[in-house]
Structure 1
Amino acid sequence: MSVAPAINLVGMLALNQAHVLETSSLDYAALENLIEQAFHVGTCDSGGMDAFLIAVDQDADYDSPNFLWFRQRFTRFVYIDRVIVAESQRQRGWGRRFYADLFAAAEAAGHDVVCCEVNQVPPNPGSDAFHRALGFEPVGTATLAGGVKTVSYLVRKLAQSDV
């Protein structure tokens, strides 16, 4: 399968690499593979990638330790692998729009939960506040990268969920 031509992989890769502290590094092939497996992709591209979200579901062939943590605990889920908004585009509602679209797609596909992680070390208070405001709740933590990074695992139950 090849990536849809409407997705600006070069722009996404550049934006991702500018924010590796908050997410993680990817090369072009890894990003292309992630997009090909994606359950949902949201982008804002006005000539230079402004923002994007990539989410996969439980069926993805993905070796991220964070994704695998959720796979061990949930049968069906959508995992937000990364959402990045360029500094110049912050406070314009891109994150909320991406998440609203993702929640609708996940519910339509019969998913009960959307999962993600937020860095605790190094801290990411903006992301903590954003996810808390959208109804995400902590369900675990992990220390990664040889103790350099600690994450909090978050889950948001979807409206149709009875769990």
Structure 2
Amino acid sequence: MTLTTRDIDATDLTPLLAMNNGAIPAVNLLDEKELLDLVSMAHSAVIVVDDASPREPLGLVITLTAGNDYDSENYRWFEERGGDFLYVDRIVVHQGMRGRGLGQILYERVFAEAELAGLVEVTCEVNLDPPNPGSLAFHDRLGFVQLGEQVTKGGSVKVALLSAPVLPASSLPEAS
């Protein structure tokens, strides 16, 4: 299996919606219009594929820089904090492919994009309640540190707000 990343295109939307919505509550539910809107404002919208089946997304990551009109409490927290950041709105790996390094591959692309854009940090949030200990451990292994916590969605979700410095992509720690 040879894994590579590529930009999302229109033919990816149906499987990406299924992948995204299958990962709830780690990410929020999206409909097709919301996904299209998110991709259109994204700094990058990338999938990982097996070269043998390049039309079958195995994982996705969508990032945003500051200055977007995006109605996300967590994105706004980072924007109000300020700084030159690349915000990971969502990273999702197909359920049957987790634990095989796809998240690492997607984050290598994220950090490379941040470095090319001259940004100093990559930011994201991970659920504390409902808990997502696997994602917290993964992000910790990649060098993310917690900057704060926030209760969102009318009190139904509590997140850890995380940041990692942008290092050359080749020096990203191994997450495994």
TM-score (norm. length: structure 1): 0.90
Instruction: Give the corresponding residue for 1:39.
Output: 43
- Give SS of 1:8's match: helix
Report deviation, 1:122: 0.7
C-alpha separation in 2, matches of 1:7 and 1:130:
30
Q: Indicate which of 24, 28, 40 corresponds to 1:24.
A: 28
Q: Which runs of 4+ in 1 moved over 4 A?
A: none
Q: Of 61, 67, 73, which aligns to 1:59? A: 67
1:157 aligns with 2:165: yes
Q: CA deviation at 1:49?
A: 3.1
Partner Cα separation in structure 2 for residue 28 and residue 138 of structure 1? 32
Question: 1:122-141 alignment to 2 at 5 Å?
Answer: 122-141=130-149
> SS of the counterpart of 1:26?
coil
| Structure 2 stretches lacking a partner, 5+ long | 1-6, 169-176
- Select 1:95's aligned residue among 83, 94, 103: 103
Separation of aligned partners in 1, 2:151 and 2:61: 24
Shift in CA distance, 52/128, structure 1 to aligned 2, threshold 3 Å:
same
Q: What SS class does the counterpart of residue 70 from structure 1 fall into?
A: helix
The number of residues matched between the two structures is 158
Q: Structure 1 residues 123, 84: CA separation in 2 closer, same or farther (over 3 Å shift)?
A: same
Q: Which runs of 5+ in 1 are unaligned?
A: none
Query: How many Å separate the matches in 1 of 2:8 and 2:111?
Result: 22
> What is aligned with 1:143?
151
CA deviation digits over 1:100-132, x for unaligned, max 9? 111011011100011000000011010011000
SS in 2 for 1:60: coil
SS at match of 2:81: coil
Shifted more, 5-14 versus 60-69: the winner is 5-14
Q: Which amino acid aligns with 1:12?
A: L
Report the Cα distance in structure 2 between the residues aligned to 1:103 and 1:144, rounded to whole angstroms: 27
Partner amino acid, structure 2, of 1:147: G
Please name the residue that 2:19 is paired with: 15
Deviation at 1:138, TM superposition (A): 0.3
Question: Structure 1 residue 4: deviation in Å?
Answer: 6.3
* Per-residue Cα deviation, 1:18-66 (whole angstroms, up to 9, x for no partner): 1121110111111001111111222134454321111111122211000
Identity of aligned residues (%): 37
* Deviation by residue 1:73-93 (Cα, 9 ceiling, x = unmatched): 023211000011111111221
Q: Distance in 2 between matches of 1:62 and 1:42?
A: 19
Match for 1:108 among 113, 116, 125? 116
TM-score, normalised with respect to structure 2: 0.84
